[in-house]
C-alpha cells in the first residue's frame, strides 16, 4: 500500500517535471525573442546617438550665423558701392 502511494507520487512528479520542461522551452524561446528585440533597440539608439552627435552646438551655430551675417554685410556693402553713383 505504501509502495502504491509512492509510485503514484512519483508518477505525478514525473508529469510535473515534463510540464516544467515544456514551460522551460517556451521561456527560452520568449527570452530569445526578447534578446533579439533588445539588440534591435540598441542598434536604433546607436543610430540616434550618431545623428545627435552631428548636430552643431550653440556656439557653432552662433559662429555660423555670425559668418553668414559678415558675408552678407560684405555683399551689401559691395553692392551699395557698385550701384551708388
User: What pLDDT sits at residue 6?
Assistant: 84
Q: What is the pLDDT of residues 29-83, one digit of tens each?
A: 888 889 999 999 999 999 999 899 899 999 999 999 999 999 999 999 999 988 8
Prediction pTM value: 0.48
35 with 43: CB under 8 angstroms?
no
C-alpha cell at 82: 557698385
Residues 21, 23, 29, 30, CA torsion sign: negative
Amino acid at each position: 500500500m505504501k509502495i502504491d502511494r509512492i509510485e503514484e507520487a512519483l508518477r505525478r512528479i514525473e508529469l510535473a517535471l515534463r510540464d516544467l520542461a515544456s514551460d522551460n522551452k517556451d521561456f527560452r524561446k520568449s527570452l530569445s525573442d526578447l534578446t533579439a528585440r533588445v539588440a534591435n533597440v540598441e542598434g536604433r539608439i546607436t543610430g540616434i546617438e550618431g545623428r545627435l552627435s552631428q548636430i552643431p552646438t550653440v556656439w557653432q551655430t552662433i559662429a555660423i550665423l555670425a559668418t553668414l551675417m559678415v558675408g552678407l554685410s560684405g555683399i551689401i556693402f559691395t553692392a551699395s558701392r557698385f550701384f551708388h553713383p
